[in-house]
Amino acid sequence: MNDASSNDYFQRKQVREAAIQQAVRRRQMRRMGKWFLGVVIVVGLGYWLFAALNGPVGPAAGEFFKAQSRDHIAIGAPHAAYNSNPPTSGWHYDTPVQTGIYDAAFPDEQLIHNLEHGHIWIAYRPDLPKEDIEKLANIAKSYGSKIVMTSRPNNPTPIAIVAWEYLLKLDHFNEQQIKDFIDDHRGKGPEVVSDFGFKDFRGQPTPTPGAPMN
């Protein structure tokens, strides 16, 4: 084989080897792409299955509002505006509301102290249908401790479930959402203390702000 033929042979050989290597790389890339796609599908299915078995992830926690203050103020004293409605933290009176169920409204400043203690505040507008008020009362009774339920005319929605830094606003009664919120946040305030004396106080005189707890 002369030199020209030899060079031509090796050139063709190099071209063939380069084409083979390129084909191998393409096959490897296709395999990696299929593997990655499979991982994405498996992870997606796993998340979907978890969500289906455990309910919605996230919404039960409600909307978060960063705590403004834990300062005590005198009854009727002015303070800065709260960052949510109903408030989820901020300036408040020295004495919380006795835990229980009320058909009366209390100052927000008094209920905030309950939230600080890790209580859940179930606030409903007075125009809420009576059957829904009773449903809320039944939920409150099922938990008992660390629950206070009151009327609140200034609610932006018919029902508001309030915890320290968290708020769930509902246009309609939804038992599962309410219970999920309570389970997420009850007993998690910054100053958790034991409570006592929970009962249905509806029909009884409304305690004045600052009055000692029973």
Q: What is the dihedral of CA 58, 143, 171, 160, to 10 degrees?
A: -80
Q: How far apart are CA 25 and CA 89, in angstroms?
A: 60
Please write the tens of the pLDDT for every residue from 101-157.
999 999 999 999 999 999 999 999 999 999 999 999 999 999 999 999 999 999 999
CATH of 60-185, one of 3.30.420, 2.60.40, 3.30.70, 3.40.30: 3.40.30
Q: Which two tokens stand for residue 107?
A: 């100052």
DSSP 168: E
Please write the tens of the pLDDT for every residue from 11-64.
666 767 766 777 667 777 777 766 666 665 665 565 445 444 444 444 457 999
Backbone angles phi, psi at 115, to 5 degrees: -60, -40
Q: How far apart are CA 212 and CA 214, in angstroms?
A: 6
Q: How far apart are CA 138 and CA 39, in angstroms?
A: 46
Please write the tens of the pLDDT for every residue from 157-207.
999 999 999 999 999 999 999 999 999 999 999 998 888 899 999 998 877
Nearest CA-CA partner of 68 in 84, 48, 50: 84
